[in-house]
Structure 1
Amino acid sequence: MSGGRALAEMLRINGAGPIFGMAGFQLLPYYEGVRRLGMEHHLVNDERVGAFAADAYARLTGRPGICDGTLGPGTTNLVTALVESLNAGVPVIALTGNTHRGHSWKNMTQEARQVEILRPAVKELIRVEAVERIPELVRRAFSVATSGRPGPVVLDIPEDVAHAEHTFAAGEFFADAATARVPARRPRPDASEVERAAALLARSRRPLILAGGGVHLSEAHDALLHLAEAAGIPVAHTLSGKGAIPCTHDLSAGLFGRYSRYANELIESSDCLLVVGCKLGEIATKRYTLPRPGTPLIHLDIVAEEIGRWAPTRVGLWGDARAGLSDLATALESATPTDDRSAYRDEVRERRSAWEAEARARYESDEVPINMGRLVGELNEAMPEDGILLADGGFASHWAGLLYDTKRAGRGFVADRGFASIGYGLPGALGTALAVRTDDGSAPPVVSITGDSGLNMTIGDLETARRAGTAFTLVVVNNAASGYIKALQHAVYGEGSYQSASLIETNYAELARNFGCHGHRVEHPDDLAPALKQAMATHDAPTVVDVVVTRDPGQMLPGVDNRTLQVRPGDRPV
């Protein structure tokens, strides 16, 4: 068979789901293999969309998402989305066509130094130099993508390797079941370090758990909830960690970092922090001002070098989140707590009640144009327990991360915070809808929030979503601006000081109908609930709900962005 056919065979054997990409001559034998094997492949209109869709599919299923791109621009278009997957720890396998090796560096059409470009954007780049090694190297790609902290892998295939014919032994075509999904393997933290961590937690009066996206990657939700409930420890989360425990749970302290309900105050007063699957990056730490110096820190992470990267760590637990939390819960059973922490838990409940009273005005706002808080409040009411909300990069993720409530543990909320690139909203919804689809029509509703800037980047793939037979709700936060940029310019330089931040007024509902999808334009808050209900009940095509929100840059963010606190009027931002 051809090398391309062997690639397709190995993807099929490894249980590949829908594949997203755009063909070129180099990968034609692979496309022919996909056709002959009856595999599911979706032509996209931009390769970045395909990689984003593969990323979302992987987050929801735990199985590597698959995408492809041809030589040169097809391959370089993948870079932004692959960095998202790399930074977020999402398993993706990207197939890239490359030049015929007999003619490389003779100015072949679309030739580029794509291997050098792609290598730092992925966990590993595997160059396929011999057709007979394809089965082995595809297995290697799955193993790397799903082991340790998951991540994207590129299989770079020269034209002559893809087109070459080879007689394979049947026994070469097999898959390693252990690497079919994440986490492929579960290393446990050192037992003595677990005991140290348990003793530290038992002595603390105000412990707090900070949960990141690693909780989802490890499927550690039950283990986290068991430990939190058994020890009575509240849980705060990052944008990527939302859903680590249900937001509606009594022990949920909500989002922490740049925007916070009341978790930041709990972090400030905590005497022990347990960080689980969280890199403690800029957003989560409010530009490295949290936690306060001297707070005892226990850090559980699958990547050893994340432990103590910048925050002094008292106890480092190197291992899988679920395994580590289970071991820690067992160790705590025999540890004697300092007290029952009842006063602390009462304080957490009081803070929660006070925040809910303060937030009610946003959730119930009657402002016209529509307040973002009211939009998220309506989503809280409309979304069932098993519903999945995606949030594009930029302020859509911050508003939803702060105000949206997941009702059960798990991936009920997805935000592309690995790279925070806008443009994820539409392709993320496409990949998610394909991930959760069912034969009987009982799939949970998929709703994605994107900005008008984000949708402008990827709107051509509404055609892809319609062609793929998906049905999801795409909520467009329409403020006729690149909202985050305009809001920051307003905060730093003052009213009227805007440069390259405004868009023309566009009716995205009308555009959606032109693509053969459904569209609703909402200009009054009382029309939100019926529009969302109708959109979520539509199953024959995607629906765009175009929501006209405030044009006031001073009201575009959930609160003052912490970066603006470092600038004085007249200063340049830092």
Structure 2
Amino acid sequence: MRLKVEPEAEPMAKKAMNGADIFIQALKNEKVEVIFGYPGGAVLPIYDALYKNPIDHVLARHEQGAIHAAEGYARISGKPGVVIATSGPGATNLVTGIADAMMDSMPLVIFTGQVGRGVIGTDAFQEADVVGITMPITKHNYQVRDVKELPRIIKEAFHIATTGRPGPVLVDIPKDIASEDAVVSFQTKINLPGYQPTLAPNVLQIRKLIEAIRTAKKPVLLAGSGIIHAKCSEELFTFAKNMKIPVVNTLLGLGGFPANDPLFLGMGGMHGTYTANMAMYESDLLICIGARFDDRLTGNIDHFAPNATVAHIDIDPAEIGKNITTQIPIVADAREALLSLLAGKGEPAQSEEWLKALAAYKVEYPLWYNESNNEAISPQKLVKMIYEMTNGDAIVTTDVGQHQMWTAQFYELNEPNRWVTSGGLGTMGFGFPAAIGAQIAAPEKTVVSIVGDAGFQMTFQELMLLVELKLPVKIVIMNNAALGMVRQWQETFYEERYSQSLIPMQPDFVKLAESFGIRGYQVQSEAEAEKILRETMKDRQPVLIDCRISPRENVYPMIAPGKGQHEMIGVKP
């Protein structure tokens, strides 16, 4: 990416500032409200500047907790999450979160400290080549080599992170840069010739899609998280209604179309609904908006929508045609594309019989689960109870695994910006710190973090923040004493050889919560769970509820590896 700076619009400031103060002023210019971070030697000048010029700072107890919290903040607020860590291990502890944000298109701006310029490349104490390490997992990254470049670089970093397809941008700042004095201007304009995202769709391709809709008899809309990022849920709803096209959401797109609407078919993919997957399989026109056709959605691509004309709307041209052959490619912002389609005033699809057939699928093949045997809690029933106790209005975060899929299946998401989960990277430990960031972004909302017993143990040190910041996050642990999804795959595909997936010893989660000053409960039955949820979901205090769920319960339906959408298992009891 070649970067070019236009002439400065105003004279340079007369007063010299050190790099750390320039850094703080640049963040203020970007209207940064909160920073998630952890100090260390290479960023001490920056933290000294924060002491003198405070911006709200969340002191995570581990850098991974900081960056996942920033992801949760970004997803719910729509603003970029800002992260600071020191050099070496501080920076490398962010790598998982950076990769997670890259896969899921989360706008983050990450600042890492670096050893002084004079010793870069000498294996100095706490030196790591963070630019080289993160190059494949960032949208762009920088290493500052001149203090006078700081205002421009920071301005560009925020612009790149939040425009086009959002993503993480990293700025590596050597310690001596943060201490060096300079006279700078903050009026530098952005001019990035190599970075010009296409927002408006091609008119001819829009007309081609409008004509395809007019003649389609089995159309389907596949809506991904691009709908959330582009803030166009209302436009999607109007378009689907006007054109009489049913809607499937990807995992990350949940909430982009109301789950209680008759046109909604459910989540597609490996653990999606039978109706959603068969709709895509049988479709004659598949319109994908803001999704990337990943393998967990498509199953075996040889059997994915085999009879469909595929239209793909995405702001990232690299995604179009990457996995699925596309007949109508439209590079555009999702909202701009939908506005153009609505303005085209095309005729609705001839979908009456199709909608009747899909409605019959819904009746014949609903999501199902085994009722509790009173020895443990049904996880699906637990999710439904949480939905009822929160009136479906909570912000819900999850880790990755069985509990994530049960939540996606049984917690109806009728509005955008209510769902925070790790999709592409599948990061254990994500859900709880993400809930912290989500609660900071929406302090008036109920935030429920539904996690597994294994994933929670990876980042539970952030419990202290609930007390320190007075955050009323509700933690619900689905405890089956196992790496649940690993155990399910070993049962299904490895002849029940449970190699290292069962967890024989756990901490006492109630005592753990209490040691941080948080109420904790252990519940063994659905009656207990209902009572405790009713008592705790409405108040404004943090709580941890350890729910002992059925240890052998599996997630169904399921597309097995190598199988097509039409070859789901477990579609009926």
Q: Same fold (TM over 0.5)?
A: yes
The one of 281, 288, 293 equivalent to 1:268 is 281
Q: Is the Cα contact below 8 Å between 1:215 and 1:322 reproduced in 2?
A: yes
SS at match of 1:241: coil
**Residue in 2 aligned with 1:282?**
295
1:295–1:185 Cα change, 3 Å? closer
SS at match of 1:283: helix
Distance 2:122 2:472 in 1: 46
Q: Is the Cα contact below 8 Å between 2:87 and 2:127 reproduced in 1?
A: yes
Q: Is the Cα contact below 8 Å between 2:219 and 2:284 reproduced in 1?
A: yes
Deviation at 1:367, TM superposition (A): 4.5
| Pairing 1:220–2:221 present | no
Deviation at 1:24, TM superposition (A): 1.2
**Residue in 2 aligned with 1:464?**
465
Q: Is the Cα contact below 8 Å between 1:238 and 1:257 reproduced in 2?
A: yes
Distance 2:430 2:178 in 1: 31
Q: Is the Cα contact below 8 Å between 1:10 and 1:174 reproduced in 2?
A: no
Deviation at 1:34, TM superposition (A): 1.9
**Residue in 2 aligned with 1:112?**
128
Q: Is the Cα contact below 8 Å between 2:214 and 2:346 reproduced in 1?
A: no
The one of 402, 411, 415 equivalent to 2:417 is 411
SS at match of 1:562: coil
| Pairing 1:426–2:432 present | yes
Alignment of 1:61-140 (within 5 A): 61-140=77-156
SS at match of 2:297: coil
Deviation at 1:283, TM superposition (A): 0.9
Runs ≥4 residues deviating over 6 A: none
Q: Deviations over 1:316-371 (max 9, x none)?
A: 1100001101211222x244x563x2222222333233344x63x55x64543111
1:506–1:560 Cα change, 3 Å? farther
**Residue in 1 aligned with 2:311?**
298
Deviation at 1:159, TM superposition (A): 0.9
| Pairing 1:556–2:554 present | yes
The one of 56, 60, 65 equivalent to 1:49 is 65
**Residue in 2 aligned with 1:440?**
none
Q: Which amino acid aligns with 2:494?
A: Y
Alignment of 1:347-362 (within 5 A): 347-356=357-366, 359=368, 362=370
Distance 1:69 1:140 in 2: 20
State the percentage of identical aligned residues: 28
Distance 2:130 2:448 in 1: 35
Q: Deviations over 1:477-499 (max 9, x none)?
A: 11111111111111122235433
1:175–1:476 Cα change, 3 Å? farther
Distance 1:309 1:535 in 2: 46
Q: Which amino acid aligns with 1:249?
A: D
SS at match of 2:209: helix
Using the size of structure 1 for normalisation, the TM-score is: 0.90
Q: Is the Cα contact below 8 Å between 1:186 and 1:323 reproduced in 2?
A: no
Deviation at 1:271, TM superposition (A): 0.9
Q: Which amino acid aligns with 1:301?
A: D
1:252–1:366 Cα change, 3 Å? farther
Q: Which amino acid aligns with 2:449?
A: S
Distance 2:302 2:460 in 1: 38
Question: What RMSD in Å do the two structures reach over aligned CA positions?
Answer: 2.2
1:502–1:387 Cα change, 3 Å? same
Moved more, 555-564 or 224-233: 555-564
The one of 199, 202, 220 equivalent to 2:211 is 199
Number of paired residues? 544
Q: Which amino acid aligns with 1:373?
A: Q
The one of 350, 353, 377 equivalent to 1:343 is 353
**Residue in 2 aligned with 1:544?**
544
Distance 1:500 1:209 in 2: 38
1:289–1:372 Cα change, 3 Å? farther
SS at match of 1:563: coil
**Residue in 1 aligned with 2:529?**
528
SS at match of 1:247: coil
Alignment of 1:487-526 (within 5 A): 487-526=488-527
Deviation at 1:142, TM superposition (A): 0.6
Q: Is the Cα contact below 8 Å between 1:93 and 1:152 reproduced in 2?
A: yes
Moved more, 78-87 or 97-106: 97-106
SS at match of 1:198: helix
| Pairing 1:326–2:339 present | yes
Distance 2:209 2:31 in 1: 39
**Residue in 2 aligned with 1:380?**
387
Distance 1:269 1:63 in 2: 39
1:256–1:102 Cα change, 3 Å? same
Q: Deviations over 1:255-306 (max 9, x none)?
A: 1110122111111211111001010001111243552324110100001121
Deviation at 1:252, TM superposition (A): 0.6
Alignment of 1:360-399 (within 5 A): 362=370, 365=372, 367-399=374-406
Distance 1:505 1:103 in 2: 45
SS at match of 1:260: coil
The one of 261, 265, 272 equivalent to 1:253 is 265
1:496–1:108 Cα change, 3 Å? closer
Q: Is the Cα contact below 8 Å between 2:82 and 2:109 reproduced in 1?
A: yes
SS at match of 2:308: coil
Q: Is the Cα contact below 8 Å between 2:219 and 2:349 reproduced in 1?
A: no
| Pairing 1:19–2:39 present | no
Q: Is the Cα contact below 8 Å between 2:466 and 2:473 reproduced in 1?
A: no
**Residue in 1 aligned with 2:571?**
none
Distance 1:372 1:160 in 2: 53
SS at match of 1:480: coil
Distance 1:319 1:123 in 2: 18
Q: Is the Cα contact below 8 Å between 1:398 and 1:558 reproduced in 2?
A: no
Using the size of structure 2 for normalisation, the TM-score is: 0.91
Q: Which amino acid aligns with 2:357?
A: E
Deviation at 1:122, TM superposition (A): 0.8
1:289–1:476 Cα change, 3 Å? farther
SS at match of 2:31: coil
Deviation at 1:565, TM superposition (A): 6.1
Alignment of 1:158-237 (within 5 A): 158-169=174-185, 172=186, 187-237=199-249
1:367–1:343 Cα change, 3 Å? farther
1:528–1:391 Cα change, 3 Å? same
Q: Which amino acid aligns with 2:260?
A: T
| Pairing 1:315–2:316 present | no
Q: Is the Cα contact below 8 Å between 1:4 and 1:28 reproduced in 2?
A: no
Distance 2:58 2:280 in 1: 45
Deviation at 1:385, TM superposition (A): 4.4
Distance 2:243 2:164 in 1: 28
Q: Is the Cα contact below 8 Å between 1:393 and 1:416 reproduced in 2?
A: yes
SS at match of 1:102: helix
Segments of structure 1 that go 5 or more residues without pairing to the other structure are 438-442, 567-574
1:289–1:48 Cα change, 3 Å? farther
1:168–1:477 Cα change, 3 Å? same
**Residue in 2 aligned with 1:569?**
none
Q: Is the Cα contact below 8 Å between 1:507 and 1:521 reproduced in 2?
A: no
Q: Is the Cα contact below 8 Å between 1:84 and 1:418 reproduced in 2?
A: yes
Q: Which amino acid aligns with 1:111?
A: E
